């Protein structure tokens, strides 16, 4: 048996030759992938066998894929030729460049923002935007401060604010299928520096009892128990700085003095603060089968150590790593990992797709 391979596309006409020699002249028969036998000649619908043994396939469909077998036979024997046919579609399902999920920050009184929906496909996809409240916007539609441009699929939001937060979903559709891209708009937060309390003791021995004087990095001198802003001179001589920040760095000097002399002690203070940075998080899209447990891990670095929480599609917030024991279709959506410490925040999102 001989083998051939043919690759064609929808609706084309294809000729499969089957030339055989022999004495007496062999009879040619074609067998289709689904078992139909076609003698020579054969004048059917889309399939015809010419007198020379050539099989003509008209208006080829995806269902025509498979092996076509030509058998040439006379009373002395037979020979065969197998033709494997693969049919490709002219249509291409829409697709988006990665990432398919993006998280954007909103300001309280922000500027206009445009959310792009650039998908490729054949034929050219049609676009539909789904707003966070479930409203669908077709091309050319204008609603309050939202406008869906014709042609390129861009959604324009005028003068964005915190009320515009939520997930915006762009659907690209054509006859071959559909694809989606999501934007999660989240209110941004200005970092507020707030940290721990710093205690610097100054224990002095001597007779008569020593007087303790503190000199701060900015030159301020404290010679008695008192409170100045976040700085407290305690009665036992300890200097306390509350809610330390990067502005408190420098040298703090304690000087103990009596009638016989003095001693000094310096505290060089460096305030180490780093905003959170998420170092490990799920990819932008996480796919999971229905009923298969899934764990969403999120790790962040920072000083002080960041707290980790997850914001679920229903806006519920949970602490630590997230475990979904029995995911269903209703669990699909955007899950956002939040890392927070006294210096700032960081977040990353993943679109959980339950299939």
62 assigned to some structural domain: yes
How is the beta sheet containing 42-43 ordered, strand by strand? Answer: 14-16, 55-57, 47-49, 42-43
Q: Are residues 98 and 173 in the same domain?
A: yes
Q: Which residues does 328 contact at the CB level (< 8 Å), separation at least 6? A: 290, 291, 354
The answer to whether the peptide bond before residue 88 is cis (omega within 30 degrees of 0) is no
CB 248 within 8 A of CB 316: no
My answer on whether 77 and 104 are in the same domain is: no
How many domains does the structure of the chain reveal? 4
Same domain, 224 and 258: yes
Tokens matching residue 87:
């049919």
Q: Which two tokens stand for residue 34?
A: 């689904």
CA atoms of 278 and 301, how far apart (whole Å): 6
Residue 56 and residue 48 in contact, taking contact as beta carbons nearer than 8 Å: yes
- Both structure tokens of 141: 């539609």
The token duo for 118 is 């650039």
Give the end of a domain, one of 219, 241, 269. 269
- Per residue in 109-128, pLDDT tens? 667 889 998 888 887 899 99
Say how far apart CA 157 and CA 23 lie, in whole Å.
80
Cα–Cα dist 62/31, whole Å: 18
Q: Specify whether 35 is located in the same domain as 114.
A: no
Q: What are the start-end ranges of the E strands in 135-273?
A: 136-137, 142-143, 146-148, 155-157, 166-174, 177-187, 198-200, 211-215, 221-222, 226-228, 231-233, 239-241, 250-258, 261-269
Q: Is residue 192 part of a domain?
A: no
Q: Which of 88, 120, 143 is the last residue of a domain?
A: 88
Residue 278 lies in a domain: yes
Same domain, 154 and 182: yes
Q: Can you name the residues that pair with 29 across neighbouring β-strands? A: 39, 71
Looking at residue 193, its pLDDT comes to: 39
Q: Does residue 183 sit in the same domain as residue 202?
A: no
The list of the chain residues with pLDDT below 70 reads 1-10, 89-90, 98-99, 107-110, 162, 187-195, 206, 272
Last residue of a domain, which of 25, 60, 88?
Answer: 88
Q: Check residue 246 and give its pLDDT.
A: 72
CATH label of the domain that carries residue 316: 2.60.40.10
Based on the domain organization, do 97 and 57 belong to the same domain?
Answer: no
**126 shares a domain with 99:** yes
Q: Please enumerate in sequence order all residues whose Cβ is within 8 A of that of 217, keeping only pairs 6 or more positions apart, or say none.
A: 248, 249, 250, 251, 252, 269
Same domain, residue pair 96 and 177 = yes
pLDDT at residue 79, rounded to an integer = 93
Instruction: For residues 245 and 281, state if they share a domain.
Output: no
| Rounded Cα distance, 119 and 182, in Å | 13
Do the domain assignments include residue 193?
Answer: no
pLDDT score for 195: 57
Q: Are residues 225 and 181 in the same domain?
A: no
Considering only CA atoms, which of 216, 223, 218 is closest in space to residue 256? Answer: 223
Domain contains 147: yes
Q: What is the rounded CA–CA span in Å between residue 87 and residue 63?
A: 8
Q: What DSSP state is assigned to residue 125?
A: P
Instruction: List the structure tokens of 193.
Output: 């520096």
Cα–Cα distance for residue pair 165/311, rounded to 1 Å:
13
| One domain, residues 62 and 133 | no
Domain that holds residue 106: 92-187
Minimal CA–CA distance to 138: which of 173, 186, 185, 166? 173
* Burial (CB count within 10 angstroms: exposed 0-12, middle 13-18, buried 19+), residue 1: exposed
């Amino acid at each position: 048996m001989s083998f051939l391979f043919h690759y064609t596309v929808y609706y084309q006409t294809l000729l499969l030759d089957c030339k055989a020699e022999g004495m007496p002249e062999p009879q040619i028969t074609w067998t289709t992938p689904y078992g139909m036998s076609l003698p020579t000649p054969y004048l059917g619908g889309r399939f015809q066998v010419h007198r020379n043994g050539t099989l003509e396939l008209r208006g080829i469909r995806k269902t025509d894929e498979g092996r076509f077998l030509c058998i040439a036979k006379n009373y002395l024997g037979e020979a065969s030729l197998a033709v494997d046919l693969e049919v490709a579609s002219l249509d291409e399902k829409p697709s988006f460049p990665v990432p398919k999920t993006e998280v954007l920050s909103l300001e309280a009184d922000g500027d206009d923002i445009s959310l792009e929906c650039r998908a490729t496909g054949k034929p050219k996809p049609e676009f539909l935007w789904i707003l966070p409240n479930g409203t669908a916007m077709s091309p050319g539609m204008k609603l309050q401060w939202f406008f869906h441009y014709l042609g390129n699929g861009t959604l324009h939001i005028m003068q964005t604010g915190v009320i515009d937060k939520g997930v915006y979903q762009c659907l690209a559709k054509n006859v071959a299928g559909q694809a989606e891209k999501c934007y999660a708009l989240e209110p941004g937060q200005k970092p507020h520096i707030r940290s721990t309390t710093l205690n610097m003791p100054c224990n002095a021995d001597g007779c008569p009892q020593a007087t303790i004087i503190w000199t701060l990095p900015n030159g301020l001198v404290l010679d008695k128990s008192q409170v100045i802003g976040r700085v407290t001179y305690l009665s036992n001589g300890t200097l306390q700085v509350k809610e330390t920040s990067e502005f408190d760095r420098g040298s703090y000097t304690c000087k103990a003095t009596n009638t016989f002399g003095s001693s000094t002690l310096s505290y060089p203070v460096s305030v180490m603060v780093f905003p959170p940075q998420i170092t490990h998080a799920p990819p932008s899209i996480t796919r999971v089968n229905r009923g298969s447990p899934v764990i969403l891990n999120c790790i962040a670095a920072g000083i002080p150590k960041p707290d980790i929480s997850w914001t679920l599609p229903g806006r519920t917030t949970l602490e630590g790593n997230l475990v979904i024991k029995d995911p269903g279709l209703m669990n699909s959506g955007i899950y956002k990992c939040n890392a927070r410490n006294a210096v700032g925040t960081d977040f990353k999102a993943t679109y959980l797709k339950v299939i």
